[in-house]
Structure 1
Amino acid sequence: MPTSPADVEVWPGSPTPLGAHWDGTGTNFALWSAAAQAVDLCLFDDAGTEHRHRLQETTHQVWHARLPGVGPGQRYGYRVHGGYQPGSGHRANPAKLLLDPYARAVDGDLTLHPSLFGYPDAAVDGPVPDPRDSAPYVPRGVVVHDSFPWDGDRRPGTAWSDTVIYEVHVKGATMAHPDVPPVLRGTYAGLAHPAFVEHLLALGVTAVELLPVHHFVSEPHLLRRGLTNYWGYNTLGYFAPHAGYSSSGSGGQQVTEFKAMVKALHAAGLEVILDVVYNHTAEGDHTGPTLSFKGIDNRGYYRLREGDPSRYQDYTGCGNTLDVRRPQVLALLMDSLRYWVTEMHVDGFRFDLAAALARSMHDVDRLSAFFDVVHQDPVVSQVKLIAEPWDIGEGGYQVGNFPPLWTEWNGKYRDTVRDVWSGAHVGVRDLAYRLTGSSDLYRSDGRRPLASINFVTAHDGFPLADLVTYEHKRNEANGEDNRDGERHNRNWNCGVEGETSDPQVQALRARQVRNHLATVLLSTGVPMLTAGDELGRTQQGNNNAYCQDNELSWLDWKSVDEDLLAFVTRLVRLRRDSPVLRQEAFFEGHEIPGTGGTRDLAWFHPAGHQLSTGDWFDTGLQTIGMYLDGRGIRHRDERGRAVQDDSYLGWLHAGPEPVTVHLPGPPWGDDYELVVSTEYATGAPPQNTIVAPGPVELPGRSVWVMRVLRRP
């Protein structure tokens, strides 16, 4: 980088690729804006002094230049000149320094100041733009050249059927971890530290799903309350790793640190999935700050209301919605996805509020350009794709309606399992669908059980310990008078609201936690665990801790429930060792030749008979037996051989009192070995617990897993 950015020459450069790219002797800058009448490239020297250079070249609405001598580490931004007419959707204001949407690293924090907003005080819809300079208060892009040594990096390539997802926050994972060096806690390097990686490996998960790591900033309303956006669903830079998670600085070093984290996790056999937020940006609604897209080309990037382009169409609840119908926005999304796969080596994506990306006009459209482009892309179509299949707009709940290639957060699975264990009289019909891969949702269009991401908790809502402790949210610390957060959580506090010293209530709550986890890990589909649920983590009743960057949200490594951790580890290991629990095809319920009449899947009533039509519609039935025959697995190994496994009989009993269930005799089983029972703290019953066919008492609110024994 030259001593003074003021001395650089400005050559025409190239309109491609977009962003800032160093070629070894200089940097090419390219910015798309159809609305701009002129564009200034702003370079900042080591003292923070700004030097503006007018871009003279524009090709197909891309403003570009090449600056010899400008190289890695250079801080930069843009100022866009054009029309300021909010009533027509135009919001150009050269007083605002704008972040390059393609910046690969970001430096500096967002500081709350009146100059962040494009309009004068109390004149949101006025015709005159605010003249105050925002440069001292906004982050800047950084020119990056990172020749990371990827040699030896091997993507795990874990099959969906073998995948167990661990949803985790980069900072929260290690911020309070005593075995991670203080300087690394809460960072990418901390997440890759052996102390945390060893926990993941011991637990048996195969993939970490990271809450947003695209560079984000906090909303003004949080900053005014002295809070910050902890979760990170407020993206500003779609190519830049969030600088706040870097232990090594924000001058581009965060890129190297992120890559090193990915490489370390891959070396441990763990995949990296990113939670990405392409549905909206950090600029909010018409009252929000002007930080990037809004000032570059407001009409080009955002969906504006028909008839009133001064306002944004908001399908996200965050003030705006990116307009993925537009080619340039769709290109931004796809360029970003490809970059994270090819340059950062990530293994997949979970799309926040994915239904918002599929809206062609107002309705969610399965044939939208978004799906078409993803499906034909030779890079993005080859990684794991997970949809959060809803947004807040009309018709936005689309569970089961995403096309092949996609998996989905199965919201119906979460709701059903919560209803069952909370004691709601909903019967077992819907539960049976959820336990076996949700064929009612995914079979008709050729998808498989692995399209269902099965979960009962996620970052949003109560952690599992709170799900069985609180029926009423306690979100006062968020500063919104407890108005925020979900009110209907489909849960039960075990008879006492909040913490209690009553040992019976404590024991019941612990068993209910095990019941939820056992259900998830025994279900066909792809299980997802929320970080901390295996440790007994609590948020003290806060079910919307998005702005709590403190011990309330961080994993608590000092109060680990060792029995619970052993229980989860036991269940994950059982799932890994039992192909019948993670089948790739839907069950048929057909008889298996040569077995004397058993089926690949059968459902049993406590009385011992297979469920009748009347049983399926009995809303008072709270006990169900699920028989899985390991001789009837429908997928084959890589050599085409039929997969064989043990057979299992599982019992789920949600009723409060013990119940007598009748274990079926031959040909179903000669005897049964109890291998998991949620009545025990670690799930491990006494060794060699062999039970003969016939009546046996099942404890109240419990799950049993029994291995079928057959005599020669």
Structure 2
Amino acid sequence: MSTSMTNSLKPYPLGAHIESSAVRFSFVSKREDCGVLLFDRQTGRKIAKVPFTADDRIGNVYCKYIEGVDANRISYQFYEGNEIVPDRYARGFAGQFKFGKERKNQDWRAVVTTNSFDWQGDKRPRLAYEDCVIYCAHVRGFTQHVSSKVVNRGTFAGMAEKLTYLKETGITTVELQPAYEFAEIPTGAERKAMLSAQSPALMAGQNEDNDVIQKELDLLCPKKCNYWGYKHGYYYAPKAAYAMSEDACTEFKEMIRAFHKEGMEVVMQFYFPKTVKNLEITEILKFWVLEYHVDGFHLMGENLPIDLIASDEMLADTKLWYYYFDTDKIYDRGEPIKRNLAVYTDDYLYTMRRFLKGDEGMLAKVLSEMRQIPFKTGRIHYMNNYYGFTMMDMVSYDRKHNEANGEDNRDGNDFNYSWNCGEEGPSRRKRVQTLRLKQIKNAMTMLAFTQSTPLIFMGDEFGNSQKGNNNPYCQDNAVTWLDWNDLNKNAEIYAFWKEMMALRKSHPILRPEDELKIMDYISCGYPDLSYHGESAWRARMDSYNRQIGIMYCGKYTRLSRGVEDAFLYLAMNMYWESGRLAMPKLPKGLKWELKYCTDKEAGLVTKATGDKAVSGEDGKTDDAKVTTEIQIPARSCAVYISVPDEEYAKNNTKSHKSRKKAAAGAEDYSDRTMF
């Protein structure tokens, strides 16, 4: 082993990289007594200590080339004086880490990686936002439970094993909670920093071994597991504890490749505290696009350079999600070539939850949220996410139950806008169970009919519960691990979700590229979107009103998709009593047919245009008259679709034959002349 110098140092990218026959180590430090420690990867034995010299330095960056080492057999760390400094630019770390185990600086030994992975012609799907259905998941929690029945539980490989399930569920895009390397257990220095922020007077002038400080540390800043990972991380390395093998880099790439082969996308959450420099953030994102073929990023953190990130030319076709984008500034008042930005906020969540539980004064806001598609960005809509209640808990709990977090139930959001349907927590009462099932179906129906991009949190599709914990940031256990037994237990919920996603996929009028205009701009006799109340075309928007009929005209899909869709009518009644809604008259040859009703026991009562009334769950009339009124049960949604009217076609055929016969029987004067 030897060190070498070049005439001009090239320290970037930082970290350790193979160049010709040497390994180049680059390290940022303001100290002079710093260098590299090399270890045997198999035995862990230190094999060399290589100091940096003044000749290796450019500004505050040191760069040294070391020859004669096998990059595949070594691990390394940097040092400053007597302090070990893990490489925060490392592409990977040695060993197979157990999740939740406390690690000190000396445990973080980085490895030198290569770019030898065979992508097999991999291409990113680049799906349009209107065609996406997003599934937010925690890599470990998704398959860690034994009921997942995957070989590689809690890992990237385990995610790939569930690909068939995700595709059958209607998912196109998976959003991963932090899957880059981070420490689950805070170090002593981190805990003292947190204590200093909470009790600066206590820490001032105190000795590190002070019993008082240790007592306060254990009380105010205990060693709790950071299950989610929203903290400073090693942003260039996939999380080793999420890999079944010791090569997390390859396993992550194999997962991405498997998703792309199925036409599915992977979007990563990245949390950046204010200590991460702005330019470094853009470099991190571009690294994951180039090295791992990631499809997008949900950006989180303090004072992020969003305009800089969104304006980066290399990220122009990479999905970027944030709570706000100044599109006039980003696009210089122009338009994007490809819509890659998307607004990701809780506005939809709060509005739809309040409407779902029957709050008044919500109807106008609900209609706005359901049709909203920003001009230059996409929009992510969800009623549940990793924070807050799951969909099942949203209809099972009035209050949060975070006692297990060890903060006396003070943590987590107090404004959940949930309703327990009559009993707090699990219930054996049939009435409560039936109402909860109906409310979940109502929520799924609203999501399916919302424009732009719907998102659900993992397990919501089959009624997963977190026992009322709306902030399980430290729960690495059955609270956050999906119990896949619920898939059979709540099979009706899962089947309904799949039906809603199939309905959305098969009807392009529910997936418009741009916001519907509520106008008849193709002169077909119907607006693209219309609202209806007890009288057709007359929706009542009074604050006390909790019911509405929404009609989608499929004729408009000819403009964007080249094919004409059906008419769809969504009836929503979130009042605790049944109500009446009118349905518009369809073009000749079509009639309304009931597709779904979330109140399966009550069914629907329909009335024809005359005095004759018809009842039944199928919603069909027994004559050729057009259905104009429905009686919709309390707290329920119903979906109608236009279908060919066979009776009308039959009568029209008879009429056509009669006219033809009459014409044939008339005298023919065509061969006669006037003279």
* CA distance in 1: counterparts of 2:234 and 2:588, whole angstroms: 57
* CA distance in 2: counterparts of 1:36 and 1:652, whole angstroms: 66
Pair 1:98–1:662, CA change in 2 (3 A): same
Structure 1 residue 573 corresponds to structure 2 residue 502 = yes
* CA distance in 1: counterparts of 2:429 and 2:526, whole angstroms: 45
Q: Which of the numbers 114, 117, 136 marks the counterpart of 1:167?
A: 136
Where do residues 626-705 of structure 1 align in structure 2 (5 Å cutoff)? 626-633=550-557, 635-637=559-561, 642-666=562-586, 671-680=591-600, 689-690=619-620, 692-705=626-639
Q: Give the aligned residue type for 1:158.
A: L
Structure 1 residue 421 corresponds to structure 2 residue 356 = yes
Pair 1:537–1:190, CA change in 2 (3 A): same
Deviation by residue 1:524-545 (Cα, 9 ceiling, x = unmatched): 0101111100111101111111
Asked whether the equivalents of residues 598 and 667 of structure 1 are also in contact (C-alpha less than 8 Å), the reply is no
Q: Which of the numbers 289, 303, 316 marks the counterpart of 1:341?
A: 289
Match of 2:548 in 1: 624
Asked whether the equivalents of residues 656 and 701 of structure 1 are also in contact (C-alpha less than 8 Å), the reply is yes
* CA distance in 1: counterparts of 2:101 and 2:593, whole angstroms: 66
Deviation by residue 1:466-485 (Cα, 9 ceiling, x = unmatched): 01111111111111111111
Root-mean-square deviation (Å): 3.0
* CA distance in 1: counterparts of 2:68 and 2:574, whole angstroms: 70
Match of 1:394 in 2: none
Deviation by residue 1:575-615 (Cα, 9 ceiling, x = unmatched): 111110010011112125453x311111111343423xxx3
Q: Give the CA deviation at 1:142.
A: 1.5
Structure 1 residue 357 corresponds to structure 2 residue 304 = yes
* CA distance in 2: counterparts of 1:669 and 1:414, whole angstroms: 39
Match of 1:187 in 2: 155
Where do residues 532-543 of structure 1 align in structure 2 (5 Å cutoff)? 532-543=459-470
Asked whether the equivalents of residues 166 and 529 of structure 1 are also in contact (C-alpha less than 8 Å), the reply is yes
Match of 2:63 in 1: 64
Match of 2:34 in 1: 39
Asked whether the equivalents of residues 598 and 668 of structure 1 are also in contact (C-alpha less than 8 Å), the reply is no
1:232 counterpart SS class? coil
Deviation by residue 1:319-374 (Cα, 9 ceiling, x = unmatched): xx235xxxxx2332122111211111111111124x6304xxxxxxxxxxx42344
Q: Give the aligned residue type for 1:476.
A: E
Asked whether the equivalents of residues 219 and 234 of structure 1 are also in contact (C-alpha less than 8 Å), the reply is no
Asked whether the equivalents of residues 180 and 190 of structure 1 are also in contact (C-alpha less than 8 Å), the reply is no
Q: Which moved more, 1:338-347 or 1:53-62?
A: 53-62
Match of 1:214 in 2: 180
Structure 1 residue 233 corresponds to structure 2 residue 230 = yes
Asked whether the equivalents of residues 210 and 274 of structure 1 are also in contact (C-alpha less than 8 Å), the reply is yes
* CA distance in 1: counterparts of 2:320 and 2:307, whole angstroms: 11
* CA distance in 1: counterparts of 2:381 and 2:150, whole angstroms: 34
Q: Give the CA deviation at 1:177.
A: 4.9
* CA distance in 1: counterparts of 2:288 and 2:461, whole angstroms: 29
Match of 1:49 in 2: 46
1:234 counterpart SS class? coil
Asked whether the equivalents of residues 77 and 84 of structure 2 are also in contact (C-alpha less than 8 Å), the reply is yes
Asked whether the equivalents of residues 310 and 330 of structure 2 are also in contact (C-alpha less than 8 Å), the reply is no
* CA distance in 2: counterparts of 1:554 and 1:562, whole angstroms: 19
Q: Give the aligned residue type for 2:526.
A: T
Q: Which of the numbers 423, 431, 439 marks the counterpart of 1:504?
A: 431
1:488 counterpart SS class? coil
Q: Give the CA deviation at 1:517.
A: 1.4
Q: Which of the numbers 375, 379, 398 marks the counterpart of 2:311?
A: 375
Q: Give the CA deviation at 1:180.
A: 3.8
Unaligned runs of 5+ in 2: 192-216, 606-615, 650-675
Asked whether the equivalents of residues 256 and 266 of structure 2 are also in contact (C-alpha less than 8 Å), the reply is yes
Deviation by residue 1:385-438 (Cα, 9 ceiling, x = unmatched): 111459xxxxxxx99999764202231111100110122112311111111125
Asked whether the equivalents of residues 100 and 184 of structure 2 are also in contact (C-alpha less than 8 Å), the reply is no
Q: Give the aligned residue type for 1:622.
A: R
Structure 1 residue 524 corresponds to structure 2 residue 451 = yes
Match of 1:158 in 2: 127
Q: Give the CA deviation at 1:106.
A: 2.1
Pair 1:643–1:112, CA change in 2 (3 A): closer
Where do residues 272-421 of structure 1 align in structure 2 (5 Å cutoff)? 272-278=266-272, 280=273, 321-322=274-275, 329-353=277-301, 356-358=303-305, 370-378=306-314, 380-389=315-324, 405-421=340-356
Q: Give the aligned residue type for 1:357.
A: L
Q: Give the aligned residue type for 2:263.
A: G
* CA distance in 2: counterparts of 1:586 and 1:112, whole angstroms: 45
Q: Give the CA deviation at 1:146.
A: 4.1
* CA distance in 1: counterparts of 2:552 and 2:417, whole angstroms: 29
Q: Give the CA deviation at 1:688.
A: 5.2
1:342 counterpart SS class? helix
Unaligned runs of 5+ in 1: 1-6, 81-93, 117-133, 281-320, 324-328, 359-369, 391-397
Structure 1 residue 26 corresponds to structure 2 residue 22 = yes
Pair 1:708–1:401, CA change in 2 (3 A): farther
Match of 1:255 in 2: 249
* CA distance in 2: counterparts of 1:43 and 1:62, whole angstroms: 19
Deviation by residue 1:487-514 (Cα, 9 ceiling, x = unmatched): 1101111121111111101110111111
* CA distance in 2: counterparts of 1:48 and 1:401, whole angstroms: 54
**Identity among equivalent pairs (%):** 30
Asked whether the equivalents of residues 350 and 388 of structure 1 are also in contact (C-alpha less than 8 Å), the reply is no
- Aligned pairs, number: 583
Where do residues 426-465 of structure 1 align in structure 2 (5 Å cutoff)? 426-437=361-372, 442=374, 446-447=375-376, 451-465=378-392
Asked whether the equivalents of residues 170 and 502 of structure 2 are also in contact (C-alpha less than 8 Å), the reply is yes
Q: Give the CA deviation at 1:569.
A: 0.4
Where do residues 544-583 of structure 1 align in structure 2 (5 Å cutoff)? 544-560=471-487, 561-583=490-512
Asked whether the equivalents of residues 39 and 55 of structure 1 are also in contact (C-alpha less than 8 Å), the reply is yes
Deviation by residue 1:239-279 (Cα, 9 ceiling, x = unmatched): 10001001112xxx11011111111111122111111112x
* CA distance in 2: counterparts of 1:413 and 1:37, whole angstroms: 54
Match of 2:203 in 1: none
Q: Which of the numbers 75, 83, 88 marks the counterpart of 1:101?
A: 88
Deviation by residue 1:619-655 (Cα, 9 ceiling, x = unmatched): 1110011111111248524xxxx44211111111111
* CA distance in 2: counterparts of 1:373 and 1:268, whole angstroms: 29
* CA distance in 2: counterparts of 1:165 and 1:111, whole angstroms: 26
TM-score by length of 1: 0.76
Q: Give the aligned residue type for 1:662.
A: A
Q: Which moved more, 1:531-540 or 1:597-606?
A: 597-606
Deviation by residue 1:49-78 (Cα, 9 ceiling, x = unmatched): 374322221124321111112313422222
* CA distance in 1: counterparts of 2:25 and 2:403, whole angstroms: 46
* CA distance in 2: counterparts of 1:669 and 1:487, whole angstroms: 53
* CA distance in 2: counterparts of 1:373 and 1:559, whole angstroms: 41
Q: Which of the numbers 481, 501, 519 marks the counterpart of 1:590?
A: 519
1:689 counterpart SS class? coil
Asked whether the equivalents of residues 419 and 426 of structure 1 are also in contact (C-alpha less than 8 Å), the reply is no
* CA distance in 2: counterparts of 1:619 and 1:349, whole angstroms: 39
Pair 1:401–1:371, CA change in 2 (3 A): closer
Q: Which of the numbers 193, 196, 199 marks the counterpart of 2:165?
A: 199
* CA distance in 1: counterparts of 2:416 and 2:576, whole angstroms: 20
Asked whether the equivalents of residues 99 and 184 of structure 2 are also in contact (C-alpha less than 8 Å), the reply is no
* CA distance in 1: counterparts of 2:577 and 2:65, whole angstroms: 75
Pair 1:111–1:429, CA change in 2 (3 A): closer
